[in-house]
Amino acid sequence: MAATSSGSRISNSNGEGGVMRIEVLREKCQGHARCWAQSPDIYGLDDEGYILPGDIDVPDERKRAAWLGAKSCPERALVIHDEGETSR
């Protein structure tokens, strides 16, 4: 299945506290597109439905959506780094 998205990634580089970072382990991605289905504004996919490379900075107001998307990944390709804690 090919899912596409041209969704732009959220980033927050103002240096303020409270920023969540999603580490993208692209080599683990199998193109399920579940992350994108949960949060298309955060998780962009390429033309073949694989997550775009590069880590994602998520502002406070989108943390829950980012968390849901990361937790929906069956390959654990999205690692959550938030306030000193790491989870997949």
Cβ neighbours around 30 below 10 Å, total: 12
- Residue 48 or 61 with smaller CB distance to ligand SF4: 48
Distance CA 77, CA 52 (A): 12
Minimum CB distance to ligand SF4, residue 85 (Å): 20
* Residue 31 is a binding residue for ligand SF4 (CB under 6 A): yes
Minimum CB distance to ligand SF4, residue 13 (Å): 23
Interacting span for ligand SF4 (CB under 6 A) from 11-19, 27-35, 56-64, 80-88: 27-35
How distant, in Å, are the alpha carbons of 10, 32, 37 from that of 49? 19, 7, 11
Distance CA 62, CA 71 (A): 14
* Residue 62 is a binding residue for ligand SF4 (CB under 6 A): no
